[in-house]
A and B are shown apart, each in its own frame.
Chain A
Amino acid sequence: MSSHSKLFLTGLFVAGLLAAPALAFDFGRPATLEEIKLWDIDVGPDGKGLPDGSGTAVQGKQVFSDNCAVCHGENGQGGIKDRLAGGQGTLASSMPVKTVGSFWPYATTLYDYIHRAMPYPTPGSLSIDETYAVTAYILSLNGIIPADGKVDRESLPRIRMPNRDGFIPQPEFDPAKLFRKK
């Protein structure tokens, strides 16, 4: 065997040793639990992902006034951006008004969206308790919880939104049937 082919075989052997156990890590690097926690912000309809903490509608009124009213109006109406309250009973009319109270099927989505995207100029700037508080305030504006109501990770998934049954999945992608075993 020539020295050249020996070298070649050795090279193959070494490459094999390196590649076999570490194949997945040839691209990227393992994510640590700590850093996943920093980015793992999504909240499911069952409340999975909601953090510890709580807020009341009364506290939320002030947070809303300071951070949200400039776009959405003082009471979640009449602002330059999406109307957040009212509209219940209008969805079948020629002028439907889609708000959190009239259209959104899950209260958990409200927490998730405020936390990830609002306030528009500084998303993520509200604390967990402030986010719960604004969520509570918007729900109270829609009469879904009382004006002195409070929400947290336990209560939010249990809230039944008025339009919870207002959605019909497109048959092709119906989550209830899509991956059922044939």
Chain B
Amino acid sequence: MTFKAPVELLPRPANLSRRGFVGSLSAGILGAVATEAAGAETLADVPDRGPGADLSAHSDRSRFARIDRIPEATPGKRNVDPGDAINSKTPHQKLVGNITPTDLHYERSHSGVPDIDPAQHRLLIHGMVRKPLVFSVDDLKRMPSITRVVFIECTGNGWENWKKADPDLTVQNTHGLVSTNEWTGVPLKFLIDLVSKDKGSNWMLAEGGDGAGVDRSIPLTDEIMNEAFVAYGQNGEPLRPAHGFPMRLVMPGFEGNLNIKWLRRLKFGNAPWMTRWETARYTQLLADGKARQFQLRMETNSVITQPSGMMQIQPGDNRISGLAWSGHGRIAKVEISTDGARTWKQAQLSQPVLSKAQVRFQMDWVWDGKPTKIVSRSTDDQGNVQPDRQSFIAAMGTNALFHYNAQQTWSIDEAGRVRNVLA
């Protein structure tokens, strides 16, 4: 009697040998986690147990699970020398669950990552306040704290697909500039009470301690006053330097650039400052040449991560999985189409579904082996529906560069190859 691994029971395209199939697994493009190159045909092939490595000061990932971000320069310039990179993207195709591992949270900086000694770092709060104050990191840690799971998304996320769809893109390339972590810190409201902000001050300038001194004007709406916080913790540990150590602003639901890292100054005033970032940079150029400004909130969005660009699937049982998020609130539902947006089925959401945090959605699917297109569409609890690409581009044009949230379509050919396409 011969013994076959379950995968052998499924029909496989003739051009895909077992060696090739396993090889693609080891390259990590199929499945959530890369597995070892030589498979175990029978249980007798599984290596014997024995004493393992010594315990260590911190736990590294398995050498069989290689998961890396991709440093990138301008759109389409990937795997560049880190010195030329302006961001580094989260490998969503290799992750599971709702939370992004800390070391894989996307990174975007405008003058590198400063090496800040927390003992020397200070936060100055001044402007239209009765009592301008200076805080140390220890001061913040003695204050009342909150902990909240929040996504942060670069306003440039999705920038690869504005004008065309490069078929060779992975979901890391198309959507790797959004991640979700648990952040811990002090409510902005508490700090505002300490300095006694003037009632007439409705805008706040937040400034970083990085080389670029990145600064943004933030409107103090009720929502922002209730939800913004100055974080010093990330997934149970101090912030990583790339994410703002020793303290950063967290603005749930608002564009990444507002979540000022390496925060060192908050100034209160009664009008926006019109910084470079809110005028020349993160504004959306419309087709008529006018630009939309203060588009601060991240939109309702979703993307299928499994299967996604550059993967290969087999006919038969498949699991579709992806991530959905909205800057407006909680994701209410995610629908999946496996026939190019003609018909839709509701996906399951992985609990907990939190406001302004990414949530994983999943659905079983039997692929009949015929070429098709798969796409997801999210709806949030405010009733916002993720737009299809056609209506999105009709409204925004193709020059906006920021806040791309059109539905993402992946095509699947007769060999099971998954590729990036425009709808």
Contacts and interface: CB of A to CB of B under 8 A. Distances in A.
Interface residues of B, number: 55
A109 B280 contact: yes
A58 to B, nearest CB: 25
A112 B275 contact: yes
B285 A109 contact: no
Interface string A164-180: 00111110111100110
Contact of A44 (B126, B132, B274): B274
A24 B131 contact: yes
A156 to B, nearest CB: 13
A44 B217 CA distance: 11
B294 interface: yes
B273 interface: yes
A178 B202 contact: yes
A21 interface: no
B289 A104 contact: no
Interface stretch (B98-106, B133-141, B340-348): B133-141
B212 A166 contact: no
B293 A27 contact: no
Contacts of A173: 219, 221, 294-296
A100 B292 CA distance: 17
B297 A117 contact: no
A13 interface: no
B272 interface: yes
Contacts of B126: 31, 36, 40
B382 interface: no
Interface in B194-208: 194-196, 202-203, 205, 207
A105 B194 contact: no
A120 interface: yes
Contact of B132 (A31, A100, A113, A167): A31
Interface stretch (A60-68, A91-99, A126-134, A142-150): A91-99
Contacts of A92: 287-289
A62 to B, nearest CB: 24
A141 to B, nearest CB: 16
Contact of A28 (B139, B221, B398): B139
Given A24-B194, A42-B267, A104-B279, A120 B211 contact: yes
Contacts, number: 147
Contacts of A94: 398-399
Contacts of A109: 274-276, 279-280
Interface range, A side: 35 or more
B290 interface: yes
B142 interface: yes
A123 to B, nearest CB: 5
A72 to B, nearest CB: 14
B290 A166 contact: yes
Interface in B119-165: 124-126, 131-136, 139, 142-143
Interface of A: 24-25, 27-31, 35-36, 39-45, 91-92, 94, 96, 98, 100, 103-106, 108-109, 112-113, 116-117, 120, 123, 166-170, 172-175, 178-179
Interface of B: 110-111, 124-126, 131-136, 139, 142-143, 194-196, 202-203, 205, 207, 211-213, 215, 219, 221, 264-265, 267, 269, 271-276, 279-280, 283, 285-297, 398-399
29 contacts: A25-B133, A27-B142, A27-B143, A27-B194, A28-B134, A28-B135, A28-B139, A29-B134, A30-B133, A41-B213, A42-B215, A42-B273, A45-B273, A91-B289, A94-B398, A103-B280, A104-B280, A109-B274, A117-B111, A117-B212, A166-B289, A166-B291, A167-B292, A168-B290, A170-B296, A173-B296, A174-B294, A175-B203, A178-B219
